[in-house]
């Protein structure tokens, strides 16, 4: 088997109850080629190859033999990729110095446009469904994507195929009815675990590792692809388990990850095949996808072969959604997150903030629920530690969990507007995202996915709706408010007409962190004047002093304790403001 550079996981693949702390800024893995390498990608200098006319591998055989003799290795062309690039393998793992020498010799050839070590990819971590209440990522007003109002329009993703390029998918009872034939692109029979390498069976065989495999300790199977697929299209209103965000969509499992991860060459071919392109030696895809989900990644900028595969998919009208990565670093330093033309997704939490582990930066387009160690994203898995044993559900956290929310949102939009191009889809998703309270700190693109507003914009039904982020800040050193918390209370009225009062318990304000502000999201008519009141729960009868900062945003300083006769809620401030579809509190 090939031994290639190990990559960061882009998902913490354990149940939320067992989820270890995710470092806010994990140290990045070594760049490709700095550890043992036995395979390389070569891009021919000929422009014809980039147009899909593959060069004759035999023409490079003598060149590779010469390079091999000069470096003491045996180098052979393993195969031509769908993009016209070549996969070259050495007969053994090369030391870093030898790897550098091989690359130097290859790059000096007139018939070689580029050469790089092949990167080893890793997985980036009110229906009647029985676990619906646990799916905060779909329905929570502060951290969710507003699935229910989107479903109320009749959109469910029907007629749209989403390809999940991952570890494969099991025939989980919440997924089986939504699967269409896929393909297993894991070329290493040992890593594929099905004994025959590439084949039409994209079932997840388990990706557990034994001690010593890939330099790892024992790790149980993640069933990562099944988890991703469930977030996209698990059955809704079937009386069991969870609901997918696009429950009418079809899932095409495309297996690119196995034991010890996966290879860039396999991913390149899989992107081409899933999007309707041709791959040498592989049957044509009878049901090409309109959306690809890539919850995986590796350190390093997007390489030319992966970029060419993405370009081909986009040219065929396919939207490519990828996870930003879990290193708490700049997404520009990770692939395929840094590829041009993809939709790069960061992870957000229950409070609507970027998760500390999530990559960030200008390459990120938007965020979506990825969860954290306390509140993960619940989805479908298998219960087996190694091989499949039975259907189950687990909460995972990671940008791997964020990306499928966006892929599912794209499916919902395409089910209503099949004419949308990838660029138009991306524009709709980013233009309607909910900005975070501190976008400069978040660096997570346009904000958090709001599938309801995106669908309204796509269908021309913008309606009279916007979402307000209401924030109550508590200064450091002030007494904490941790008994009843802070709730909105009193009345919300549309001036002149009046809207009904609403139950303050329906919109509890949540603490972003133990010392941070309280926030909630309120859906209100756009372009109207709103009169609302902040109120504090019955938590020690604290009298407040206020400093206005931005419209609709207060800093609260607890000054002294008082007592009122009833010992109940105090209405502390009235405010009238005018909002024109923007968030009044932007810090």
| 448: its two tokens | 């958090």
**Coil, strand or helix at 586:** coil
Distance CA 273, CA 262 (A): 16
Choice among 39, 379, 400, 415 that is catalytic = 400
User: Which residue, 376, 508, 516, 369, is CA-closest to 447?
Assistant: 369
Choice among 124, 156, 166, 372 that is catalytic = 166
By CB atoms closer than 10 A (0-12, 13-18, 19+), residue 586 is middle
Would you give the distance in Å from CA 30 to the centre of its chain? 23
Distance CA 390, CA 203 (A): 14
Which residues share a beta bridge with 413?
none
Respond yes or no: is residue 188 known to be catalytic.
no
Distance CA 6, CA 26 (A): 15
Respond yes or no: is residue 224 known to be catalytic.
yes
Respond yes or no: is residue 400 known to be catalytic.
yes
Q: Cis peptide leading into 158, omega within 30 of 0?
A: no
List strand residue ranges (DSSP E) for 256-389, in order.
262-263, 291-294, 296-299, 319-323, 334-335, 343-348, 366-369, 377-382
Distance CA 219, CA 209 (A): 5
Could you tell me if 25 and 329 are in contact, meaning their C-beta atoms sit under 8 angstroms apart? yes
User: Which residue, 121, 37, 41, is CA-closest to 79?
Assistant: 41
Residue 474 has, within 13 A of its CA and on its CB side, a CA count of 23
Which residues share a beta bridge with 574?
533
| 254: its two tokens | 């495309």
How is residue 247 annotated by DSSP?
T
User: For residue 278, is it left (φ>0), alpha (ψ between -120 and 50) or beta?
Assistant: beta
Choice among 224, 375, 405, 487 that is catalytic = 224
Residue carrying the six token digits 């938007």? 366
Could you tell me if 57 and 44 are in contact, meaning their C-beta atoms sit under 8 angstroms apart? no
Could you tell me if 304 and 264 are in contact, meaning their C-beta atoms sit under 8 angstroms apart? no
534 φ, ψ (degrees, to nearest 5): -90, 140
Residues forming the active site: 166, 224, 400
């Amino acid at each position: 088997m090939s031994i290639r550079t190990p990559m960061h996981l882009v998902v913490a693949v354990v149940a939320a109850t067992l989820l270890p702390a995710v470092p806010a800024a994990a140290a990045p893995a070594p760049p490709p080629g700095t550890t043992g390498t036995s395979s390389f990608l070569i891009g021919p200098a000929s422009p014809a190859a980039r147009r899909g006319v593959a060069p004759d591998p035999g023409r490079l055989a003598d060149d590779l033999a010469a390079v091999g003799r000069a470096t003491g290795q045996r180098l052979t062309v393993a195969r031509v990729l769908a993009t016209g690039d070549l996969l070259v393998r050495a007969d053994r793992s090369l030391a870093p110095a030898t790897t550098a020498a091989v690359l130097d010799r290859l790059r000096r050839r007139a018939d070689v446009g580029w050469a790089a070590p092949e990167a080893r990819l890793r997985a980036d971590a009110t229906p009647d469904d029985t676990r619906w209440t646990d799916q905060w990522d779909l329905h929570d007003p502060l951290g969710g994507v507003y699935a229910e109002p989107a479903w109320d329009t009749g959109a469910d993703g029907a007629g749209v195929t989403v390809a999940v390029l991952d570890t494969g998918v099991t025939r989980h009872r919440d997924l089986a009815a939504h699967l269409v034939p896929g393909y297993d692109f894991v070329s290493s029979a040992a890593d594929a675990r099905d004994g025959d390498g590439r084949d039409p069976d994209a079932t997840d065989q388990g990706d557990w590792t034994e001690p010593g495999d890939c330099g790892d300790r024992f790790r149980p199977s993640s069933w990562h692809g099944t988890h991703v697929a469930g977030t996209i299209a698990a059955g809704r209103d079937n009386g069991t388990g969870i609901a997918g965000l696009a429950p009418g969509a079809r899932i095409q499992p495309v297996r690119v990850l196995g034991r010890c991860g996966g290879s860039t060459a396999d991913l390149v071919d899989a992107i081409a095949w899933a999007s309707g392109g041709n791959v040498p030696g592989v049957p044509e895809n009878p049901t090409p996808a309109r959306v690809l989900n890539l919850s995986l990644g590796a350190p390093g900028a997007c390489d030319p072969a992966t970029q060419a595969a993405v370009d081909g998919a986009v040219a065929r009208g396919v939207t490519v959604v990828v996870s930003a990565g879990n290193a708490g670093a700049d997404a520009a330093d990770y692939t395929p997150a840094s590829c041009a033309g993809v939709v790069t997704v960061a992870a957000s939490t229950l409070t609507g903030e970027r998760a500390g582990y999530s990559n960030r930066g200008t390459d990120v387009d938007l965020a979506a629920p990825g969860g954290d160690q306390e509140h993960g994203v619940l989805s479908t898995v298998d219960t087996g530690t190694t091989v499949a044993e039975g259907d189950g559900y687990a909460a995972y956290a990671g940008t791997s969990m964020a990306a499928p929310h966006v892929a599912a949102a794209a499916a919902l939009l395409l089910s209503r507007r099949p004419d949308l191009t990838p660029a138009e889809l991306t524009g709709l998703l980013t233009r309607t995202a909910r900005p975070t309270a501190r976008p400069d700190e978040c660096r997570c693109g346009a904000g958090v996915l709001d599938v309801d507003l995106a669908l309204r914009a796509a269908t021309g039904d913008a309606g009279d709706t916007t979402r307000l982020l209401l924030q109550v800040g508590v200064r450091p050193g002030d007494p904490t408010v941790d008994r009843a918390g802070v709730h909105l209370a009193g009345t919300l009225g549309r001036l002149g007409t009046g809207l009904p009062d609403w139950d303050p318990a329906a919109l509890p304000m949540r603490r972003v962190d133990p010392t941070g502000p309280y926030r909630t999201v309120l859906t209100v008519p756009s372009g109207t004047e709103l009169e609302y009141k902040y109120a504090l729960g019955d938590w020690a009868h604290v009298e407040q002093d206020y400093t206005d900062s931005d419209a609709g945003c207060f800093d609260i300083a607890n000054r002294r304790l008082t007592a009122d006769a009833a010992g109940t809620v105090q209405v502390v401030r009235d405010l009238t403001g005018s909002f024109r579809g923007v968030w009044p509190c932007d810090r």
